[in-house]
Amino acid sequence: LIRIVLSRAGAQPVVVVSALAKVTAQLLESGNAAADGHLGLALAIVRDIYVRHEQLADSLLDGSAHGALDRELRDEFRALESQLHDLEASRRLDLKSQDRLLGFGECFSSALVKEALCEAGVNAAYVDARSCLVTDARHGQASLVWEETNQRLRDTVGPLLESGAVSVLGGFIASTADGVPTTLGRGGSDFSAAIVGAALSASRIEIWTDVDGVMTTDPKLCPDARVIRKLSFDEAEELAHFGAKVLHPATLAPAKRENIPVYV
């Protein structure tokens, strides 16, 4: 990730990150466990998530930067544990609580990435996506309030770009106009990147993933899968609509509207 960002330094990149692999699923598991009355199990799952982030921070950061991030992570994890206690008391994990719970993954990873970039000499700045991406209150898969979102992104990320800073935002997470956390649904991080790219009139949107591009089929199922070098927006949307996992159908809408090329 650091190497990719450094290689794009001349192009004024903005970085949108997802949670670490499997963390969103673990958070959901912990929430369900707490709501079912198994608080001990829920807290054990969260402890594993914390240890993983701590070990990663330890391997990436030295001295005061590590101390600052450690304090930040501890505060976030305390808030997460507090929510699990609330879920155990209420015995109910509704979509509103779930949105708040699942958002922790992107908060952890974006704080970690920001500090790791700074350690590598990048002038990185953390931007809380929940203060910029505004949605309705349809929890679980909220719809964007476009005008307000675009304005907030330009007001927040625009000045950072002008100052030469690399903004780091968590994908997938957003909030209502009055600050209640929401999420953008499956594939939300790619969607967030497209939203940010469109609002800032980016020259390109790059999605970095664990396959080499959009493929003819799932390479895990078929070793003969080939990379499709170029697709129209309509073709890519159709592939996604019929189950191609690499792109969520909604992801492409902002890029298509602004005619911004998307590289996978």
> What does residue 222 show for φ and ψ, rounded to 5 degrees?
-135, 105
Among 246, 240, 252, 125, residue whose Cα is nearest residue 197: 252
Q: In what order do the strands lie in the sheet with 181-183?
A: 134-135, 173-176, 181-183
Strands (E), the chain: 15-17, 124-126, 134-135, 166-170, 173-176, 181-183, 205-206, 262-263
Distance of alpha carbon 157 from alpha carbon 53, whole angstroms: 26
Per-position pLDDT tens, the chain of length 264: 999 999 999 999 999 999 999 999 999 999 999 999 999 999 999 999 999 999 999 999 988 889 999 999 999 999 999 999 999 999 999 999 999 999 999 999 999 999 999 999 999 999 999 999 999 999 999 999 999 999 999 999 999 999 999 999 999 999 999 999 999 987 789 999 999 999 999 999 999 988 888 888 888 899 999 999 998 888 888 887 787 777 766 678 899 999 999 998
Distance of alpha carbon 255 from alpha carbon 237, whole angstroms: 12
State the pTM of this model: 0.92
3-state percent helix, strand, coil for the chain, nearest multiple of 5: 55, 10, 35
